[in-house]
Structure 1
């Protein structure tokens, strides 16, 4: 049986003249919310293009999110293996 699922990630930005902060939120099907953050700083010599800072801060938040998901999945897989080992 094939099961189709999807996730939606929300990323919001907070910016000032030198910094961009990104906050990512992912709601999993089990109701868990995974939150992550990323930030970027503009070098004084760089042009004031907010898009670049958003991309960097957003990418860093998504990397943090991916690392948290990998750790969560690893822990859950280990728990399931332990349950199977004790049940058998």
Structure 2
């Protein structure tokens, strides 16, 4: 039996609110087939001297959000295994 997990990434450009703030943030949400959700967050700040290419900031912020989400998923897995084994478990990255 296959299970489908979905990840949604929402991107926010602070420049849309404040033109002097070249910041992109990302919020990644994982929803498992059982309905459990985990969240990850990332951000990217453009150097004012760099060209204004929003896609680069979005890619970087999304990658950081996914990395944060992966770390949180590893911690959740470690906690679940620890509860089953009745001792602390550390999973390597």
TM-score, length basis structure 1: 0.83
After TM superposition, give the deviation of residue 31 of structure 1 in Å.
2.1
1:48-70: CA deviations, max 9, x gaps?
A: 00000000000000010000000
Alignment of 1:1-88 (within 5 A): 3-15=1-13, 16=15, 17=19, 18-82=22-86
Q: Which 4+ stretches in 1 moved above 6 angstroms?
A: none
Larger radius of gyration: 1
* Runs of 5+ consecutive residues of structure 1 not aligned to the other structure: 83-88
Total equivalences in the alignment? 80
Moved more, 12-21 or 27-36: 27-36
TM-score (norm 2): 0.79
Once residues 4 and 64 of structure 2 are traced to their aligned partners in structure 1, the CA distance between those partners, rounded to angstroms, is 22
Over residues 28-86 of structure 1, what are the superposed CA-to-partner deviations in whole Å (9 max), with x where a residue is unaligned? 2332211111000000111100000000000000010000000000110111123xxxx
Q: Which runs of 5+ in 2 are unaligned?
A: 87-93
